Amino acid sequence: MFQGSLVALITPMREDGALDPEALARFVEWQIAEGTHGLVPVGTTGESPTLSHEEHKRVVEITIEVARRRVPVIAGAGSNSTAEAIDLARHARQAGADAALVVTPYYNKPTQEGLFLHYTAIADAVDLPLIIYNIPGRSVIDMSVATMARLARHRNIVGVKDATANLARPLHTARECGDDFCQLSGEDHTALAFLAAGGAGCISVTGNVAPRLCSLMHRAWQDGRIAEAMGIQRRLLPLHDAMFAETSPGPVKYAASLLGHTSADCRLPLAPCSDATRAQVRAAMVGTELLN
């Protein structure tokens, strides 16, 4: 259903912190021209926690309008309020998204039964393919494979963005959820290893600034050119490291600013990147030949 290099889009903003719709439209167009296989707006990388609902929905709309069905759009629609997640998923469907990405509820710490009921309620309310976003490092809870298998029986729940970095997980998930359940990595460092374990692609942070390289890596893998794919992954490694030198999306927004796509800063409470992180990001960009 979804495969290859999908990008967890940053949300371009002006120097005063306001949403920059024109820069977003240009950025989406650039991503498609560079070979990105799919777009994922308003996830964590898109600063969804600090966007207003109006801004959130506008980012989704702009992304879909500019994409014009050339690549799929998986709209972020997660919340720790089930009613709010349903509203965002309904908007994604009305706007024309191909799917919605729904993060496990953060802070509330629901049980596995709570997770099952949360996702079932959204899937029952909105006729749109849903991708579960399992990221224990940010949401504290970890959806079990058993719970995911229960949810995979729902016709609208079609896959997972797995940010556990546990490379045994996709093997167990495929066994319990079936080969048709779409598994996407949420962790750049292990993207190729995830593919080898049965994944279909990666929702990437690094792809914001190296979309062509990320796309070429996945294409090489799909074509069976394994050594070439591994070579690109090794080339990207310092950039992956730099993108997570501080809390994301701080470093990737700074990297994008070096390419002229947006301002560098995130909205509070994320602080501007330190001088040391900026130096690491710049060095990685130069080393990857994205900057002179």
Residue 10 to residue 147: CA distance in whole angstroms? 30
Respond yes or no: is residue 119 known to be catalytic.
Answer: no
Tokens of 44: 């964590």
Q: What is the CA radius of gyration of the chain?
A: 18
Unique residue bearing structure tokens 């309310």: 125
Respond yes or no: is residue 161 known to be catalytic.
Answer: yes
Select which of 107, 109, 119, 161 is catalytic. 161
Length of the chain: 292
Which residue(s) pair with 8 in the sheet? Answer: 40
Residue 233 to residue 188: CA distance in whole angstroms? 9
Contacts of 116 (CB under 8 A, 6+ apart): 147, 150, 151
Select which of 106, 109, 119, 133 is catalytic. 133
Contacts of 25 (CB under 8 A, 6+ apart): 62, 65, 66
Task: Return the active site residues.
Answer: 133, 161
